[in-house]
Structure 1
Amino acid sequence: MTRLAYLFAAAFGLAMALAAPATAQVNIDDKLPLCSACHGENGVPTEKNIPVIWGQHQGYIYFMLRDFKLGQRQNDAMTEIAKDLSRDEMMALAEYFSKKPWPNLNQPRASAEDTKRAESAIVSGQCGACHGEQGMGDSVQPRIAGQQRDYLLLTLTEFRSRKRTNNPWMSDILGTLAPEDMDALANYMAGR
């Protein structure tokens, strides 16, 4: 485990321990329709550039909501939604969505050429160090296997161009990859 991943995991563990009693008392029923409007009532997002959050890791969901609230991650809709969420609401939403089943988006498998290019990029970028060998993530590292292809490509592109600034390490790694590598990665991970 990298030092950064260890620190994130430790911070999340502490946050979970401190928030557990309060989270159980938070009513998020009024927030769920707002989430479902984009992320889907059945876990399938309404647009291809919106991420699947059903079955995503609790720590990762919490950190992304926190980053939107603090302005460390930018998205007009999510920034507006997150700005008024309390810490306990963010924790409760993260717990709720993490317990949902990951939806099958029926995305096609990557071509042999994309698979070869993606596997090479995964090794050189050390993607498995955080996202796991199969892209399933863990705790505060997101599951990327089976994620929306267009969302994956958008995310990779935003990290590479440094438009997305809430994880500079990702920007450094992706800055070494060619655009064709990122396209192959998005196709490969979406089809897993």
Structure 2
Amino acid sequence: MGYRSFALVAPLALAIGFASSAPEAADLSAGKEKADLCTNCHGEVGISQIQETPSLAGQPDLFVQWQLIFFRSGTRKNEAMQPIAEQLTNEDIRNLGAYFSSLSPPRPAEPDDQPALTEAGARIAAARRCASCHTDTFVGTKATARIASQREEYLVKALRDYKSGVRSGGGMAAMADVAYSLSDDEITALAHYLARL
């Protein structure tokens, strides 16, 4: 972890109490109840039906927790998310992370009406070494997002936000480095490929 990434993460880790030696166990039922705040945008079972809004079902527990921490602290900006995240306690965040990670992930986008675009996206993912962080199957791990089967237009938005510097938070340096050199056509192809995994 570089100094810049550590400088962002260390104070937040202390703020949520991740440094404690005995973290409390998450409560899935409490997470499900608290997730009522999330369903209008992210879907009843964490599968979004709204353009440019990510599905949360099947996301790694720590990824969900860190994003909520970033929203709550204002490190990551979003007009809809910040007021919600500011209301969440550390316990709420633990419970939401556990709940969303327990849900079945979305199914791959279909049909694949542009197989050549999918093939191009696969080549870009390999060339940019996306699997080195997001795993070989792109399902994410720990604090790294699941990008397989994510909404295609959301992936486009996220990559553009990383490229422009609009999005910050965990993994910002690595993602900005990857996204900065991507052309718009490459972003489109990569999102198309990942949404179909």
When residues 117 and 95 of structure 1 are mapped into structure 2, their CA distance, relative to the original with a 3 A threshold, is: same
TM-score scaled by length of structure 2: 0.82
Per-residue CA deviations over 1:26-68 (Å, capped at 9, x if unaligned) read 9456532211111111332130211111111101000000010
Q: Which runs of 4+ in 1 moved over 6 A?
A: none
Q: Does 1:61 align with 2:88?
A: no
Aligned to 1:172: 177
SS in 1 for 2:58: coil
Aligned to 2:84: 81
Aligned to 1:102: 105
When residues 26 and 33 of structure 1 are mapped into structure 2, their CA distance, relative to the original with a 3 A threshold, is: closer
Distance 1:190 1:17 in 2: 38
RMSD of aligned alpha carbons = 2.6
Q: 2:187 aligns with which of 165, 182, 187?
A: 182
Distance 1:16 1:126 in 2: 34
Structure 1, 28-37 or 91-100: larger mean CA deviation: 28-37
Aligned to 1:18: 22
1:109, CA displacement in angstroms?
A: 2.9
Aligned to 2:127: 124
Structure 1, 103-112 or 65-74: larger mean CA deviation: 103-112
Letter of the 1:88 counterpart? E
Contact 1:158 1:164 in 2 (8 A): yes
Q: 2:46 aligns with which of 39, 43, 46?
A: 43
Per-residue CA deviations over 1:84-137 (Å, capped at 9, x if unaligned) read 211111011111111111132643336332123212321232111001122111
Distance 1:110 1:140 in 2: 32
When residues 25 and 123 of structure 1 are mapped into structure 2, their CA distance, relative to the original with a 3 A threshold, is: closer
Aligned to 1:191: 196
How many aligned residue pairs are there?
184
Distance 1:112 1:46 in 2: 24
Letter of the 2:24 counterpart? A
When residues 30 and 126 of structure 1 are mapped into structure 2, their CA distance, relative to the original with a 3 A threshold, is: same
1:139, CA displacement in angstroms?
A: 1.4
What are the ranges of 5 or more consecutive residues in structure 2 without an aligned counterpart?
Answer: none
Distance 1:16 1:103 in 2: 34
Distance 2:37 2:61 in 1: 19
Distance 1:16 1:114 in 2: 47
Contact 1:49 1:154 in 2 (8 A): yes
Contact 1:26 1:88 in 2 (8 A): no
What are the ranges of 5 or more consecutive residues in structure 1 without an aligned counterpart?
Answer: none
When residues 31 and 180 of structure 1 are mapped into structure 2, their CA distance, relative to the original with a 3 A threshold, is: same
Distance 2:98 2:47 in 1: 18
